[in-house]
Amino acid sequence: MHFEFYNPTRLVFGIGNLSKIGEITKKYGSKALIVTGGGSVKRAGIFDRVVTSLHEAGVRFAECSGVEPNPRIDTVKRGAEIARIEQCDVVIALGGGSTMDAAKVMAAALYYDGDPWDMIHDGKKDPYIPQKALPIITVPTLAATGSEMNAYAVITNPKTKVKSFVGAECLYPKVALVDPELTVSVPKKHTAYGICDLITHVTESYFNGVDHTPIQDRFAEGVILAAMEWGPKALADGHDLQARTQVQWASIVALNGWVSAGTNGAFPVHTIEHTLSAYHDIPHAAGLAVVNPAWMRFAARKRPEKFVQFARRIFGIEVKGPEDIAGALQGIDAFEAFLQRIGCPTRFSDLQIDGTLIPQYAKDTLQVVHDENGNLPGRPPMTEADIITVLQSAL
Amino acid sequence: MHFEFYNPTRLVFGIGNLSKIGEITKKYGSKALIVTGGGSVKRAGIFDRVVTSLHEAGVRFAECSGVEPNPRIDTVKRGAEIARIEQCDVVIALGGGSTMDAAKVMAAALYYDGDPWDMIHDGKKDPYIPQKALPIITVPTLAATGSEMNAYAVITNPKTKVKSFVGAECLYPKVALVDPELTVSVPKKHTAYGICDLITHVTESYFNGVDHTPIQDRFAEGVILAAMEWGPKALADGHDLQARTQVQWASIVALNGWVSAGTNGAFPVHTIEHTLSAYHDIPHAAGLAVVNPAWMRFAARKRPEKFVQFARRIFGIEVKGPEDIAGALQGIDAFEAFLQRIGCPTRFSDLQIDGTLIPQYAKDTLQVVHDENGNLPGRPPMTEADIITVLQSAL
């Protein structure tokens, strides 16, 4: 274990917290850029509550609405331009992962004269690492990406069909204002996607990390077990606040660095999925639900131990020692069945996507991220042929 | 779950990291106050390595050595005075929990004209919460308190026999520079105390927190299981770097807020123990090892569920449902046996302390910390008679 950990985001967590947005924002600026998505925060009355709270605190605002599910670089530019013209000095991201990701990059783009796409890891040798951003306050309305408490954002370039990430310390939100009550109106499908997304964040470092991280293993398993226990309750009754609370908390710790600290894990499943959603504009987690079980079966055959542990600790499967591939595969089957049970697609056919472009996905994925041998980092590292094999097994 | 979480300390973790101290310190100041304990860092050559690294980075230093195991308020004043006279602009805490705690309060005392004891929660109505401190860099040479990555310090006033804490955001170290190799020369006894200390940090929030914190439960159990697996390996071979690494990592996450986030738990065992070590100047963890099992038996009878879970998940005991007090007690016996096995005292008689002063400990403890009913906060809250009962059961 050899690593650095740093996460200065202040988390304010609890039901009813939304009303604090004005008082919190006031500490960081006097005019906010409120970034929102497709309009659900307006329909649910959340936007109006934010505006009222800001007004009471004497904070003015401008608005950038319409951030799309796979947020595009042009939307980032549009938001940064609004912030510039309106002279905003703080950014409020009010929405799901896409809205938060776009808002983060807008906050940094304001201080960058070049094309903000320069910041995105799309295979270029030296992406520009932003050094400065407006203060960011995240208010998630969906439990999924954990973007509210981390320094990452994922942006899509529809022209080049590349979807990839930027990570920089200046992108850490100053405050993550998390009110699980805001998620009660999230439809079943997106609740399920959120559950899949958060679990996949955890499985990446769990399966791709270095050996000997017993505490991180337990942390990861704890998040998965909680998501599998409380996720279905949130699906059965969207207004179950206890369930919404647990799922939201799980989504935050899944990607705020606590689970992955010291694992130095790669994100092969995410990297492959980003190519899929860049091509087909599918929900990120729908793609993850298809890729992850297929990837797990591939990786388990190469290195069964961790998958055996997963089968045993998550699903209580009685395995026969650390090399029991059949036991490992039984665990993966149980995981895929869970995803199906909560309503996630697990095959390309569920997404109405055929296999025609699979070789192209593999090629594009490696163009965006590869190690010095040209392979996709992870355990094991994947060749172009490996990626094709995995994706074809998910048809 | 209704809480705030904030921890901006940058953790730099890994074997060999000590050589980075100069380069890191340089970012925060040009003259360091190096705070040390009884001399072990000098005997082990660690102090010289720090001085060399500072010299190479062009950082000057002054020194405050001799911080005692239960650090005293006078030592804090002495260190702050040295920092003032020597015009230090950064503090390096090089040692165990006592050294780090004292160094933190020195860093704040420099900016406070009054008596630094004003900051300590000793029962006074409004302790002064420090607002400003010199930048603090912690370099732990012992895996135990987790002070390297939190905002707390525990200080003793030998005159009043009060040992209590201060917590403030300005006390978060800027950097925790953690090099597990520095712990290889820690003697067996103190290695064992460190293991007991870190486990007790975790059991406090585990047993005293609010209901429905499934992720935090798993986090806590993960830390305990790792400490119980790797701790004995570190005891068997002090030079086992893998074991030293795991124990050190466990000690950090045990008290950096990740495990307790959202539990809003109290610290009854610590509060009682602080009175013991204020009276008898025993090692903190030796006192914890005596108080914790006794407290657990008391609390388990009142509220068995969590103790049943502890018995089952930590020791694999086959319990008969959530109300199985016998099963819960079996788990506590197994825990006490573990503490004994690694060489911790678990009875007052092991510490050569008789029960004469028990009523006084109870009274003093409640004077330092009590709720609005005059009881010691925790689950359950404890009356003076309860504290006496618990302590007498540990004779």
Domain ranges of chain B: 10-183, 188-392
Q: Cβ B215–A246 below 8 Å, yes or no? A: yes
Q: Which of B2, B229, B230 has the CB atom closest to A14's CB atom?
A: B2
8 A C-beta contact, residue B221 and residue B254: no
Helices A188-208, A214-236: axis angle to 10 degrees equals 170
Q: Cβ A249–B229 below 8 Å, yes or no? A: no
Q: Which CATH superfamily is domain A188-392 in?
A: Dehydroquinate synthase-like - alpha domain (1.20.1090.10)
- Please give the residue of chain A at the shortest CA–CA distance from B6: A10
**A322 preceded by a cis bond (ω within 30 of 0):** no
Residue B303, classed as helix, strand or coil, is coil
Rounded Cα distance, A323 and A306, in Å: 9
Q: Which of A5, A219, A230 has the CB atom closest to B219's CB atom?
A: A219
Residue A1 scores a pLDDT above 90: no
Q: Cβ B253–A215 below 8 Å, yes or no? A: yes
Residues in chain B: 395
Query: A140: which strand partners?
Result: A95
Residue A93, classed as helix, strand or coil, is strand
Evaluate whether ipTM surpasses 0.90.
yes
Asked if the domains B10-183 and B188-392 are classified in one and the same CATH topology, the answer is: no
Q: Cβ A2–B10 below 8 Å, yes or no? A: no
Rounded Cα distance, A102 and B290, in Å: 54
Residues of chain A neighbouring B7 (CB-CB closer than 8 A): 7-8
Query: What is the reported pLDDT for B1?
Result: 86
Q: Which of A212, A218, A226 has the CB atom closest to B214's CB atom?
A: A226
CB contacts under 8 A, A 237-266 vs B, are 242, 245-246, 249-250, 253, 258, 261-262
Rounded Cα distance, A229 and A306, in Å: 22
Q: Cβ A215–B230 below 8 Å, yes or no? A: no
- Please give the residue of chain B at the shortest CA–CA distance from A258: B258
B316 touches A at CB < 8 Å: no
Q: Cβ A218–B219 below 8 Å, yes or no? A: yes
Short-list A258, A265, A267, A255, CA closest to A218: A258
Residues in chain A: 395
Q: Cβ B214–A11 below 8 Å, yes or no? A: no
Short-list B44, B22, B23, B43, CA closest to B34: B22
A111 touches B at CB < 8 Å: no
- Token couple for B28: 């925060």
Which of A201, A215, A242, A245 to mutate to test binding with chain B, by most B CBs within 10 Å of its CB? A215
Q: Cβ B215–A10 below 8 Å, yes or no? A: no
Q: Determine the CATH number of domain A10-183.
A: 3.40.50.1970
Span A158-169, average pLDDT: 95
Residues of chain B neighbouring A225 (CB-CB closer than 8 A): 214, 218
DSSP letter at B116 equals G
Name, in order, each residue with C-beta under 8 angstroms of A72's C-beta and a sequence gap of 6 or more: A155, A156, A157, A158
A214 touches B at CB < 8 Å: yes
The mean predicted confidence, pLDDT, of chain A is 97
Which stretches of B133-283 are DSSP H helices?
188-208, 214-236, 241-253, 268-280
Q: Identify residue B235 by its one-letter amino acid code.
A: L
Q: Which of A1, A4, A11 has the CB atom closest to B5's CB atom?
A: A11
Short-list A13, A279, A99, A82, CA closest to B261: A13
Q: Where are the extended beta strands (E) located within chain A? A: 3-5, 10-13, 31-35, 60-64, 90-95, 136-140, 152-157, 162-167, 175-178
Short-list A386, A360, A366, CA closest to A122: A366
Minimal CA separation from B152 to chain A, in Å? 17
Rounded Cα distance, A328 and A311, in Å: 6
Span A353-363, average pLDDT: 97
Q: Along the 395 residues of chain B, how does pLDDT read in single tens digits?
A: 899 999 999 999 999 999 999 999 999 999 999 999 999 999 999 999 999 999 999 999 999 999 999 999 999 999 999 999 999 999 999 999 999 999 999 999 999 999 999 999 998 989 999 999 999 999 999 999 999 999 999 999 999 999 999 999 999 999 999 999 999 999 999 999 999 999 999 999 999 999 999 999 999 999 999 999 999 999 999 999 999 999 999 999 999 999 999 999 999 999 999 999 999 999 999 999 999 999 999 999 999 999 999 999 999 999 999 999 999 999 999 999 999 999 999 999 999 999 999 999 999 999 999 999 999 999 999 999 999 999 999 99
Query: Cα A226–A212–A300 angle (5° rounding)?
Result: 70
Rounded Cα distance, B297 and B325, in Å: 9
Three-state SS letters, B46-72 = HHHHHHHHHHHHCCEEEEECCCCCCCE
- Token couple for B288: 């914890």
Expressed in percent and rounded to 5, the helix, strand and coil fractions of chain B are 50, 10, 35
- Token couple for A109: 């783009």
Span A156-164, average pLDDT: 93
Name, in order, each residue with C-beta under 8 angstroms of B84's C-beta and a sequence gap of 6 or more: B110
